[in-house]
Amino acid sequence: MNYKNNIVQEDLKDLIENIKNFDIFKNKNILITGANGMLATYFIYLLMYLNDKKNMNIKIFALSRNREEMEKRFVKDNERGDLNLIVQDVCNKINIKENIDYIIHLASSANPSTIISNPIDIIKSNIYGTFNVLDLAKEKNAEVIFSSTREIYGKMPENVEFIKESDMGSLNCFNGRACYPESKRMAETILVNYYIQYGVKFKNLRIAHTFGPGMKIEKDGRIMSDFIYDVVNKKDIVLKSDGSAKRAFCYITDAISAIVIIMEKGKECEAYNISNETEEITIKNLAELLAKKYNTNVKHEIEENKGAYTNFKRVGLDNSKLEQLGWKPVVSLMNGIDRTIKSFIEFK
């Protein structure tokens, strides 16, 4: 993945045309943590694009601990005067001399392989990392945009059809996957109390099943990542369950536009759901749809759930709070998948 990728450039052009107003970014210094992640990379590319096309004079600070991956995503752009690469673990104190206006805190991991192999790393990133981000925000008087997850809602009562930001279900802390949603819940609590005690401004994003160019597809373990890996590499699509579980996927540009609108119009110290509920689909139907479109087969290799996957029924997110700010998703499921696959084929 890189900034010059044709699909990325088309996506950024569409974002500019759909959102139009980016005045909140003009002449600002912005730190993005977890810079190698899909959402963070795209957000960095958006800021670069705004500088290139709109002369916004944004100074970008991209933080990640993986230098090699940073160089793959940004090395060709590292000589730009607007992009500053910071190679460090978010769990360590963040020292930046310059003023910072916004911190987009996206450093985290939710892939099943990491949940199985290194759950403590996930907990540390979500908790220690959030402390470090908030300490920097307190020092710089910056506003924090925090990337949380739909998983913090846990298991909902049977009668709930759509989850509002004020709802809360149950989590089993003995479940293997709990390291992720429980530490995200704690991070949200930390944010609220920094706001109460120190006045650190923040807005909270509860994001569900985002996908697009730049996502990790090799050995990730999540449904969309694995299916796209199979298609890109011309393999049979491997279905590791009976496929009855349902998902609703949100393309990267729709998620980014939601974040921008929340930053501009959202209220401080509040949470916002971000998802695309317009095309809910079973995993089996998704596999069959991809197999038909890309001329491959569906192969069944049922695996035991070792605690890396959510094992309760999916409930949709209520996006009405976000929609009241003027947001709606515009990229269809198959269009988003097609664009994602093309971006990886170009990169190869």
- Does residue 298 carry a pLDDT above 60? yes
Burial of 117 (0-12, 13-18, 19+ CB in 10 A): exposed
The answer as to CATH 3.40.640.10 being correct for domain 6-214+250-277+312-331 is no
Q: Supply 137's token pair.
A: 């925000």
Q: What is the pLDDT of residue 303?
A: 66
Q: What is the DSSP letter of 266?
A: P
Confidence class of residue 241 from pLDDT cuts 50, 70 and 90?
Answer: confident
- Does residue 308 carry a pLDDT above 70? no
Q: What is the pLDDT of residue 168?
A: 93
H/E stretch holding 162 reads strand 162-163
Going by C-alpha positions, the residue among 308, 327, 342 that lies closest to residue 232 is 342
Q: What is the DSSP letter of 93?
A: P
H/E stretch holding 60 reads strand 59-64
> Where is average pLDDT lowest: 46-50, 75-79, 175-179, 270-274?
75-79
Mean pLDDT of 83-101: 96
Percent of the chain with pLDDT strictly greater than 90: 77
> Where is average pLDDT lowest: 98-107, 108-117, 220-229, 276-285?
108-117
Mean per-residue pLDDT over the chain, rounded? 92
Going by C-alpha positions, the residue among 250, 237, 257 that lies closest to residue 340 is 250
The residues near 348 (Cβ < 8 Å, ≥ 6 apart) are 232
Confidence class of residue 310 from pLDDT cuts 50, 70 and 90?
Answer: low
Going by C-alpha positions, the residue among 265, 316, 322 that lies closest to residue 21 is 265
The pLDDT tens digits for 39-53 are 999 999 999 999 999
Mean pLDDT of 201-208: 98
- Does residue 307 carry a pLDDT above 80? no
Q: Do residues 98 and 108 make contact, with C-beta atoms less than 8 angstroms apart?
A: no
Q: Supply 118's token pair.
A: 């290194």
The pLDDT tens digits for 113-132 are 888 889 999 999 999 999 99
What is the three-class DSSP state of 323? helix
Q: Supply 117's token pair.
A: 């192999």
- Does residue 319 carry a pLDDT above 70? yes
The pLDDT tens digits for 127-147 are 999 999 999 999 999 999 999
Mean pLDDT of 253-264: 98
Confidence class of residue 71 from pLDDT cuts 50, 70 and 90?
Answer: confident
d(CA 94, CA 186): 20
Confidence class of residue 106 from pLDDT cuts 50, 70 and 90?
Answer: very high
Record the pTM: 0.94
